[in-house]
Amino acid sequence: MPKWLQDAVFYEIYPQSFFDTNGDGIGDFEGIIQKLDYIRDLGCNALWINPCFDSPFKDAGYDVRDYLRTAPRYGSNDDLKRVFSEARRRDMRVLLDLVPGHTAEDHPWFIESAQAHPKTCRNRYIWTNHCFTRPEGLGFIGGETARAAVYITNFFKCQPALNYGFLKPAEAWQLPADHPDCLETRAAMKEVMRFWLDAGCDGFRVDMAASLVKHDDEKKSGTSAVWRDIRSMLDRSYPEAALVSEWSNPTEAIGAGFHADFLLAFFENSGYQSLFRDYRLDEYNQACGEDRSFFRKDGGGGIERFLKDYLFHYENTKDAGFISLVTGNHDLTRLRHTLSPEEIALACAFIFTMPGVPFLYYGDEIGMRYLNNLPTKEGGYYRTGSRTPMQWNTGKNKGFSTAQADKLYLPVDPAEDAPTVEAQEKDPSSLLNTVKSLLRLRRGDADLRGCPNLEILCAKPGNTPFIYRRGRFVMALNPRNEACAAPLALRGDAVYAIGSCETDGASCRMGAQSFGVWRV
């Protein structure tokens, strides 16, 4: 286990929307370098940079054309290496976004594999044995290549699936995971990882990590075996390199060799969604219907659904890896879509005082809005509204770029009251300064960092606070718009508060929308 991960707080950067330094309307590596001090002063000591490799950008870089070359719009390989070195100079770490399950259609591997008679890479991707074969249970594309076969896709049409094999092959064209050609695919991905680790990166966030071996079983045992093999390589050669998965099942992911996994679960009624996004999206991608999100002051939803999911995975993984709670990411509607800055502050208080390795999505620290009804950009669809440029100040394009507005990667928030870093830095009560204070609290004591020391003290339905303990600290949370109390003998020194929080040794009384921390 990398030692540094225990104390990590990550900041996710969508590079095309973060900071543009050359005036072309798209963020770049130099922009990340220039904002490293801001990120460090915010309280984050690690970065996750969304895909920055060469790509046709049909899916925002999740369609990789060359794993060993950066996208020119962001800068050169040497520029990215400077990101690594400048981050390390500030005692910060950097994860790159690895996309191991598929490539772009114009990756050289696929171009060769799609030839009528490929000389190499014949089985680098999954092909059927006939141009009219229709594979059951898998996405596929036919009729577009010289090769008289159908190829399997991993997500969008533009993303042919790399071949890691099938758990139990049922057709002649389905290779077992230990077939030499499938092992060759695995070796190629290891080589990609070694290339960037040698260049100075500190590990990888892995996209669609559970998608490698096809027709896998419910426990993903085939794909898990692949990752355990990769983890063994890292443990031998790069013991301080971190692997964080987009698996949404920490029990499986950490068992497969990952150091951490996001607890996301995009499906309705998931525990994570019940905290902030317990609503449906209509055909126009607007939140609709009843919103019972736990952090809505009038939502009425309890903490029970979240705890049912979370505690199951926590107990299964607490001695082996970390659960990562996130404020949001490039795939989710922003918190501000339905939550006020005051509600977001309480959500951050919860995320940053729980065990594991938390992630803060760029702009969530100032409450950037989700912009509705934007035309899709690079496969974003409804997600596009969460990927708009960072809002630094009230100047041109909110300080993101000097380009003309029509040249920007995406439009900035046009509202007069659009939140900015500059304005919130001057306001002691701002969301930005609240996030800073919470991260100072977390990083100020080992009991509040990644260690698995959670004890639930009060999680009763109804008008009661949620109270939990971590080592010497007790946290109490009341997201509702009315006061509440719990009969809890709590003696100690108050060390942090949002709103009104009182304890007399016999009960804990919480004002509306409040959060308190005591050292006991």
Which pairing describes strands 203-206 and 473-478: parallel, antiparallel, or unpaired? unpaired
**Two structure tokens written together for 412:** 């900035």
Mean pLDDT of the chain: 95
How far apart CA 485 and CA 335 sit, in angstroms, is 27
Tens digit of pLDDT for each residue in 190-225?
999 999 999 999 999 999 999 999 999 999 999 999
Tens digit of pLDDT for each residue in 398-441?
999 999 999 999 999 999 999 999 999 999 999 999 999 999 99
How large is the average pLDDT for residues 362-376?
A: 96
Amino acid at 181: D
Confidence category of residue 463, pLDDT binned at 50, 70, 90 = confident
Residue 328 has pLDDT above 70, yes or no: yes
- Confidence (pLDDT) at 265: 67
Is the fold of 3-98+263-443 the same as that of 453-519? no
- Confidence (pLDDT) at 506: 84
- Confidence (pLDDT) at 284: 62
Residue 281 has pLDDT above 90, yes or no: no
- Confidence (pLDDT) at 266: 59
Is CATH 2.60.40.10 what the domain over 3-98+263-443 is classified as, yes or no? no
- Confidence (pLDDT) at 491: 81
Q: Which residues does residue 419 pair with via DSSP β-bridges, in sequence order?
A: none
Tens digit of pLDDT for each residue in 216-263?
999 999 999 999 999 999 999 999 999 999 999 999 999 999 999 999
How far apart CA 82 and CA 257 sit, in angstroms, is 29
| Percentage with pLDDT > 90 across the chain | 91
- Confidence (pLDDT) at 243: 98
Gyration radius from the chain CA atoms: 23
How far apart CA 2 and CA 45 sit, in angstroms, is 14
Dihedral angle sign, alpha carbons of residues 25, 30, 31, 34: negative
Beta sheet of 501-503, edge-to-edge order: 484-486, 508-510, 501-503
Which pairing describes strands 514-519 and 473-478: parallel, antiparallel, or unpaired? antiparallel
Spell out the domain ranges in the chain.
3-98+263-443, 453-519
Instruction: Spell out the residues 6+ positions from residue 378 whose beta carbon is closer than 8 angstroms to its own.
Output: 57, 58, 59, 60, 61
How large is the average pLDDT for residues 110-124?
A: 97
Contact of 308 with 493, CB cutoff 8 Å: no
Residue listed under structure tokens 């400048």: 86
Helix axes 221-237, 180-199, angle to 10 degrees: 40
Dihedral angle sign, alpha carbons of residues 104, 105, 110, 111: negative
Instruction: Spell out the residues 6+ positions from residue 476 whose beta carbon is closer than 8 angstroms to its own.
Output: 458, 465, 466, 467, 486, 501, 508, 510, 514, 515, 516, 518
Which pairing describes strands 242-245 and 260-262: parallel, antiparallel, or unpaired? parallel
Q: Which residues does residue 498 pair with via DSSP β-bridges, in sequence order?
A: 515
How far apart CA 255 and CA 225 sit, in angstroms, is 10
- Confidence (pLDDT) at 406: 96
Tens digit of pLDDT for each residue in 488-518?
888 889 999 999 999 887 889 999 999 999 9
Contact of 473 with 448, CB cutoff 8 Å: yes
- Confidence (pLDDT) at 269: 63
Residue 267 has pLDDT above 60, yes or no: no
How large is the average pLDDT for residues 135-141?
A: 95
Residue environment code for 179-203, b if the CB has 16+ CB neighbours within 10 A, otherwise e: beebbebbeebbebbeebbeeebbb
**DSSP letters of 284-317?**
TS-EES----TTSTTT---SHHHHHHHHHHHHHH
- Confidence (pLDDT) at 489: 81
The neighbour count for residue 234, using CB atoms within 10 Å, is 22
**DSSP letters of 312-335?**
HHHHHHTTT-EEE-BS--TTS--G
How large is the average pLDDT for residues 111-137?
A: 96
Confidence category of residue 283, pLDDT binned at 50, 70, 90 = low
Phi, psi of 422 (to 5 degrees): -55, -50
| Alpha-carbon dihedral angle through residues 88, 362, 391, 274, given to the nearest 10 degrees | -160
Contact of 223 with 211, CB cutoff 8 Å: yes
Q: Which residues does residue 466 pair with via DSSP β-bridges, in sequence order?
A: 477
How far apart CA 19 and CA 401 sit, in angstroms, is 7
How large is the average pLDDT for residues 291-297?
A: 93
- Confidence (pLDDT) at 70: 98
CATH topology for 453-519? Immunoglobulin-like (2.60.40)
Contact of 206 with 243, CB cutoff 8 Å: yes
How far apart CA 108 and CA 416 sit, in angstroms, is 47
Confidence category of residue 268, pLDDT binned at 50, 70, 90 = low
Tens digit of pLDDT for each residue in 6-45?
999 999 999 999 999 999 999 999 999 999 999 999 999 9
